[in-house]
């Protein structure tokens, strides 16, 4: 009987490794439980995580001997085939990345399960077989919780790994003499502004910017250790934050001389707690700049104008509404081919006409802030004009592209109250049928309902058809649509964004533009 038990352990372990990938995926998307994000996900998705077919282990308690062994093998083979088929139909927006940290988690978790099984093997008794299987089945069912425990166990190891790579990155930064260090933060527009600035500065300098949305300490360390080169003149670091102190920690590490603050909004209100905390958290960048540094700020953002900056650095204000700003845009013209505007530098009374493939006022702000810093770093108007013209469209940020016979305005990366309104303004200027696909906005704290309902009222004024993703999470948008007496026959509610693509083809009528506003991570799937 003991031999049969050992053989079934192989089946059990194989299934466990397969099934663990789902929980590991959720842990990774929840920043390895930083800020208890994974704990909150487990609590709010108890049915997904634990009320599932893994509960079949309960039947093990009612069988004995060889029939029990057969039942165990059949149950886990069935669960494997069932979940394999189910998951093959799922489309992960951001699949699990098998990093070194993930591998370490798998090893630690495997050791925990092997130790448990080893105890049963050493103390094996035929008449206790059903108890062994019941306990092992219980542990497999509790795997999402076991993974959380494993994550805690690995904290000392992760700290050692973290400190090692941080030392490497610090030494590399300090070894590059004369390196201009720039940091970009804000609630929205960080990645776009960083990329725009990098392309403009590369007209004159050898500039390197952190990749994608690598804006945490780990992301910065990876960028510096793997990509920053001793021949670089400029390093641009995007900085993100969930709570106060996050930006300060990144600034203590990078020690930027120049900083750009895009806009202070309501992103991550849940973790910050208040708009005031967001304001103070984002200004940690500006306050950390040296006295001979330069800060680029948004004059149209009341939360930036009202803040008293502690640093004595030079402040450069940009605006698209007020000509009292140091750098301002005027004569803004939008088309489905891009945006053009006149950029004026007030101190020297100089102007340059700029053209870009990017769409919308949000990108005008991003370009203005990048241009303002580039100008103060010595680029000529001609170099700035060349740099802006060559700025490439940023993936999933008001990116205009074709999907069959439909024109997609892809703003799927992230959504916020300011950006969503601007995206609708871009859709509104298009000449043709207008459709929106959206699951709404998240992480806005107690204001989530309010902002999504307002979003619904804006949608009603612009869109000919509405495709909502997720019946529960889009109820506030639906309330906004009803407030504007929008025709509910033109509202289509789906639970999977994949289904929106064939539907938009059915709804197409002549020249059709579809705005994809936000694409929530897999952890928010209904």
Q: What is the pLDDT of residue 343?
A: 98
Residue 174, judged by CB atoms within 10 A of its CB (0-12, 13-18, 19+), counts as: exposed
Q: pLDDT band at 93, cuts 50/70/90?
A: low
Nearest by Cα to 423 from 356, 337, 506, 514: 514
Q: What is the pLDDT of residue 331?
A: 96
Question: Strand order in 327-335's β-sheet?
Answer: 207-209, 234-238, 180-185, 258-261, 294-298, 314-319, 327-335, 338-345, 350-356
Report the percent of the chain where pLDDT is more than 70.
97
- Write the CA distances from 212 to 179, 195, 248, 278, 499, integer angstroms: 21, 9, 21, 23, 27
**423-469 per-position pLDDT tens digit:** 998 999 888 999 999 999 887 878 889 999 999 999 999 999 999 99
Report the percent of the chain where pLDDT is more than 90.
77
pLDDT of 262 above 90: yes
Q: What is the pLDDT of residue 518?
A: 84
**495-510 per-position pLDDT tens digit:** 888 889 999 999 999 9
Which uninterrupted H or E stretch holds 294? strand 294-298
Give percent helix, percent strand, percent coil of the chain, each to the nearest 5: 55, 15, 30
- Give me the mean pLDDT over the 208-212 stretch: 93
Domains along the sequence of the chain with CATH: 2-153 (no CATH), 175-389 (3.40.1190.10), 399-524 (3.90.190.20)
| 229: Cβ contacts below 8 Å, ≥ 6 apart | 206, 208
Q: What is the pLDDT of residue 522?
A: 53
Q: What is the pLDDT of residue 525?
A: 57
**365-391 per-position pLDDT tens digit:** 999 999 999 999 999 999 999 999 999
**106-137 per-position pLDDT tens digit:** 999 999 999 999 999 999 999 999 999 999 99
Whole-number Å distance between alpha carbons of 257 and 229:
19
Whole-number Å distance between alpha carbons of 253 and 221:
10
Whole-number Å distance between alpha carbons of 6 and 12:
10
| 520: Cβ contacts below 8 Å, ≥ 6 apart | 93, 439, 442, 469, 470, 473
Which tokens go with 355? 């053209």
Nearest by Cα to 202 from 388, 387, 372: 387
Q: What is the pLDDT of residue 91?
A: 61
Q: What is the pLDDT of residue 167?
A: 97
| Beta strand segments in 305-419, E | 314-319, 327-335, 338-345, 350-356, 399-403, 406-411
Question: Strand order in 491-494's β-sheet?
Answer: 399-403, 406-411, 512-517, 433-438, 465-469, 491-494
| 434: Cβ contacts below 8 Å, ≥ 6 apart | 427, 428, 462, 463, 464, 465, 512, 513, 515
For all residues of the chain together, what is the average pLDDT?
92
Whole-number Å distance between alpha carbons of 313 and 490:
53
| 502: Cβ contacts below 8 Å, ≥ 6 apart | none
CB atoms within 10 A of CB 392: 12
Q: What is the pLDDT of residue 519?
A: 74
Residue 506, judged by CB atoms within 10 A of its CB (0-12, 13-18, 19+), counts as: exposed
Q: pLDDT band at 32, cuts 50/70/90?
A: very high
pTM above 0.85, yes or no: no
Helices in 154-295 by DSSP H: which ranges?
A: 155-175, 190-201, 217-226, 246-254, 269-272, 275-287
Packed helices 155-175 and 100-122: angle between N→C axes, nearest 10 degrees: 160
DSSP 97: P
Q: pLDDT band at 94, cuts 50/70/90?
A: confident
| 32: Cβ contacts below 8 Å, ≥ 6 apart | 38, 101, 151
Q: How far is CA 289 from the centre of its chain?
A: 27
**291-327 per-position pLDDT tens digit:** 999 999 999 999 999 999 999 999 999 999 999 999 9
Q: pLDDT band at 526, cuts 50/70/90?
A: low
User: Residues 62-78, buried b or exposed e (16+ Cβ, 10 A)?
Assistant: ebeeeebbebbbebbee
């Amino acid at each position: 009987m003991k031999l049969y038990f050992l053989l079934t352990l192989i089946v059990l372990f194989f299934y466990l490794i397969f099934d663990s990938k789902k929980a590991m995926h959720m842990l990774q998307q929840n920043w390895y439980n930083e800020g208890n994000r994974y704990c909150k996900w487990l609590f709010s998705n108890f049915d997904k995580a634990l009320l599932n077919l893994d509960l079949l282990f309960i039947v093990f308690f009612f069988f004995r001997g060889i029939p029990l062994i057969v039942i165990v093998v059949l149950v886990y083979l069935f669960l494997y085939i069932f979940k394999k088929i189910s998951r093959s139909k799922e489309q992960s927006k951001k699949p699990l990345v098998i990093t070194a940290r993930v591998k370490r988690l798998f090893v630690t978790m495997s050791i925990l399960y092997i130790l448990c099984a080893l105890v049963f093997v050493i103390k094996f008794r035929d008449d206790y077989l059903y108890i062994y299987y019941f306990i092992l089945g219980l542990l497999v069912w509790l795997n999402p919780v076991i993974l959380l425990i494993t994550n805690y166990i690995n904290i000392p190891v992760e700290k050692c790994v973290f400190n090692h790579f941080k030392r490497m990155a610090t030494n590399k930064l300090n070894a590059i003499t004369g390196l201009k260090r720039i940091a970009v933060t804000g609630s929205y527009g960080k990645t776009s502004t960083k990329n725009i600035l990098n392309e403009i500065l590369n007209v004159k300098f050898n500039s390197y910017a952190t990749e994608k949305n690598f804006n945490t300490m780990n992301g910065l360390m990876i960028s510096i250790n793997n990509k920053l080169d001793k021949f670089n003149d400029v390093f641009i670091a995007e900085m993100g934050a969930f709570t106060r102190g996050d930006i300060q920690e990144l600034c203590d590490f990078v020690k930027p001389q120049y900083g750009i603050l895009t806009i202070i909004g309501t992103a991550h209100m849940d973790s910050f707690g208040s708009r005031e905390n967001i304001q103070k958290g984002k200004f940690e960048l500006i306050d950390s700049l040296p006295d001979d540094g330069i800060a680029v700020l948004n004059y149209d953002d009341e939360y930036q104008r009202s803040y008293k900056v502690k640093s004595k650095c030079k402040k450069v204000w940009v605006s698209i509404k007020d000509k009292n700003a140091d750098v301002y845009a005027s004569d803004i013209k939008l088309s489905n081919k891009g945006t053009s505007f006149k950029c004026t530098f007030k101190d020297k009374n100089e102007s340059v006409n700029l053209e870009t493939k990017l769409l919308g006022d949000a990108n005008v702000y991003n370009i203005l802030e990048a241009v303002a810093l580039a100008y103060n770093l010595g680029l000529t108007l001609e170099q700035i004009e060349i740099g802006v013209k060559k700025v490439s469209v940023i993936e999933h940020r008001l990116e205009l592209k074709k999907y069959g016979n439909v024109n997609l305005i892809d703003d799927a990366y992230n959504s916020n109250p300011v950006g969503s309104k601007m995206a609708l303004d871009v859709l509104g200027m298009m000449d043709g049928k207008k459709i929106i696909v959206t699951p709404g906005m998240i992480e806005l704290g107690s204001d989530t309902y309010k902002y999504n309902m307002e979003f619904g009222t804006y949608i009603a004024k612009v869109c000919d058809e509405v495709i909502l993703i997720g019946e529960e999470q889009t109820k506030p948008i639906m309330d906004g649509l009803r407030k504007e007496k929008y025709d509910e026959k033109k509202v289509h509610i789906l639970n999977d964004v994949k289904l929106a693509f064939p539907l938009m083809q059915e709804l197409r009528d002549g020249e059709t533009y579809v705005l994809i506003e936000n694409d929530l991570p897999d952890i928010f799937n209904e």
